[in-house]
Each structure stands twice: as C-alpha cells, then as structure tokens.
C-alpha cells in the first residue's frame, strides 16, 4: 500500500468562500517576502499540483439556527473569510443585520473593499465600515478596536474576527469591553496549529 506523505511545512489559511455544493474551496493568499509556503502557492503552484489540506479548525462558522445580528472585524486578507461569511448569510436568505469593520493602514491597502461595497449596495441588511490608520477614507480614521468601542451597542451580536493575530487579540478585548460574552466571539485559532505527526 502506498505510504501517505505529509508536507514538511504547514500554514493555516482561512476559507475565502462560503461552502459550495460542488465542494470547491477558495483561498486568498498574499505572497510574503521570503515566505516558504505563500510564495510557492502564489508564484509556483500550477493546475494539477497536489496540495494536502489538514482538518479545518476554529469556530468561524455562522449559526443558521438563530437570527442574531452579526458583527465582523476583518484586517488585511482577513477580509476574505469575512466576505465568505457575508456570502453564507446571503445564500441562506437571512436578512439579519450584519456590520463589517474592515481595517488597514490606508484605504488603498483595504483588501477587497470594492467587493464589500458592492455587496453593501446589493444587501440592505449589510453595513460596511472601513477603518484606516491614516490618509483619506470613506470611513473612519483609527484602529478597528477603538472604532468598535466608539460605536455600537454590540452586546447582542455574534462576533467574528479574522486577520493578523494582534488585531484578533485587541479586537477580542474591545468586544469583551463592549459586553459580548466570550462564547459569542468567534475567530480562527491565533496559536500555532498542532500538525499531523506532532500530536
Ligand atoms: C488562523 C490563520 C489564518 C490565516 N489565513 C491566511 C489567509 O487566508 N491568507 C494569507 O495569505 N495568510 C493567512 N495566514 C498567514 C499564513 O498562515 C502564513 O503565515 C503566511 O502565508 C506566511 O507563510 P510563509 O510560509 O509564506 O512565510 P514564512 O516562511 O513562515 O515566513 C517568512 C518570513 O515572513 C514573515 N512573515 C510571515 N507571515 C507574515 C505576514 N503575514 N506578513 C508579513 N511578514 C510575514 C516571517 O516572520 C518570516 O520572516 C493565516 C494565519 C493564521 C494564523
């Protein structure tokens, strides 16, 4: 019998699309300078190459048994899984309120903003709030956690965060300060994952 092979390096990537009936998975990968996996995926991978995926982890899935309004915080390529959540809500025909805060250094750096604004024009239940550290913006200037603290109320929401670990940690603190219980706050794991063969 053929021996299964395991890749030498693993990296976590977030789903960038809602679940589809045909099982197609979409990931948005940013090529990091000197990055082993991201550069290989962006610059070398070709149709027909085999990628081995580990088991999914985290709690970033929408509960469709409730109509609770959602609050999503996305930084950098973290906007890809946030958009996937919005698509998932839309595909289920929900009309629950969804507020999305998307953050970056400048408005030019805001990942996928035009796609999110198109969704906002399509769905009256969706509100997109860009937050940039500096420069001209159609949204707010500052950081996502302070934007969360200055708006709201959010204590009745289910919250989802995606982005750099630092943004997730400060975002979780802002949400706890806003009165959200921990069990209503969802994000991908910010620690290093346990990899096959290491458990
Ligand atoms: C839960 C989770 C979800 C993620 N989802 C995504 C996703 O959807 N899309 C995506 O593109 N990435 C995502 N990432 C990041 C991804 O897992 C890798 O860390 C990233 O692709 C870099 O891997 P690499 O092997 O290319 O770089 P490495 O070889 O690990 O690192 C090379 C160098 O780049 C630096 N570096 C590593 N990551 C970054 C970074 N993000 N920015 C700047 N410098 C960096 C390292 O410190 C090192 O000096 C996610 C991370 C987590 C924890």
CB-count burial class (<10 Å; 0-12, 13-18, 19+) for 73: buried
Q: How many domains does the chain have?
A: 1
Q: What DSSP string runs through 122-164?
A: H-TTEEEEEEESSS--SSEES-HHHHHHHS---TTSEEEEES-
For atom 5 of ligand 1, which residue has the closest CA? 13
Pocket test of ligand 1: the residue of 13, 160, 162, 195 to mutate, having most ligand atoms within 8 Å of its CB, is: 13
Q: Cα–Cα distance between 62 and 26 in angstroms, integer?
A: 18
**150 assigned to some structural domain:** yes
Full domain range(s) for residue 120: 70-187
**11 assigned to some structural domain:** no
CA contacts within 13 A on the Cβ side of 45 = 13
Question: Residue 91 maps to which CATH number?
Answer: 3.40.50.80
**113 assigned to some structural domain:** yes
**42 assigned to some structural domain:** no
Q: Are the C-beta atoms of 61 and 70 separated by less than 8 Å?
A: no
pTM: 0.85
Q: Is 192 in the pocket of ligand 1 (CB under 6 A)?
A: no
Distance 33 CA to ligand 1 centre (A): 10
Paired strand residues for 160: 72, 186
**162 assigned to some structural domain:** yes
Q: Is 30 in the pocket of ligand 1 (CB under 6 A)?
A: yes
Q: Can you give the pLDDT of all 199 residues of the chain as single tens digits?
A: 566 677 778 898 988 988 889 999 999 999 999 999 999 999 999 999 988 898 888 888 899 999 999 999 999 889 999 999 999 999 998 789 999 999 999 999 998 899 999 999 999 999 999 999 999 998 999 999 999 999 999 999 999 999 988 999 999 999 999 999 999 999 988 765 444 444 4
What is the model's pLDDT at position 106?
Answer: 92
What is the model's pLDDT at position 192?
Answer: 54
**126 assigned to some structural domain:** yes
**97 assigned to some structural domain:** yes
What is the model's pLDDT at position 69?
Answer: 97
**81 assigned to some structural domain:** yes
């Amino acid at each position: 019998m053929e021996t299964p092979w395991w890749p030498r390096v693993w990296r976590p990537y977030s789903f960038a699309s809602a679940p589809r009936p045909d099982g197609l998975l979409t990931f948005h990968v940013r090529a990091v300078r000197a990055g082993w996996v991201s550069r290989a995926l962006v610059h070398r991978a070709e149709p027909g190459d085999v990628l081995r995926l580990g088991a999914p982890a985290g709690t970033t899935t929408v509960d469709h048994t409730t109509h609770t309004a959602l609050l999503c915080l996305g930084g950098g390529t973290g906007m890809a899984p946030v958009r996937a959540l919005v698509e998932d809500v839309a595909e289920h025909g929900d009309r629950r309120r969804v507020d999305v805060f998307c953050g970056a250094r400048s408005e030019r750096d805001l990942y996928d903003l035009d796609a999110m604004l198109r969704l906002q024009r399509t769905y009256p239940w969706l509100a997109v709030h860009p937050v940039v550290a500096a420069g001209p913006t159609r949204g707010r200037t500052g950081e996502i956690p302070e934007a969360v603290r200055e708006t709201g109320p959010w204590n009745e929401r289910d919250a989802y965060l995606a982005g750099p670990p630092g943004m997730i940690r400060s975002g979780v603190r802002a949400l706890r300060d806003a009165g959200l219980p921990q069990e209503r706050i969802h994000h991908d794991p910010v620690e290093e994952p346990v990899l096959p063969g290491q458990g």
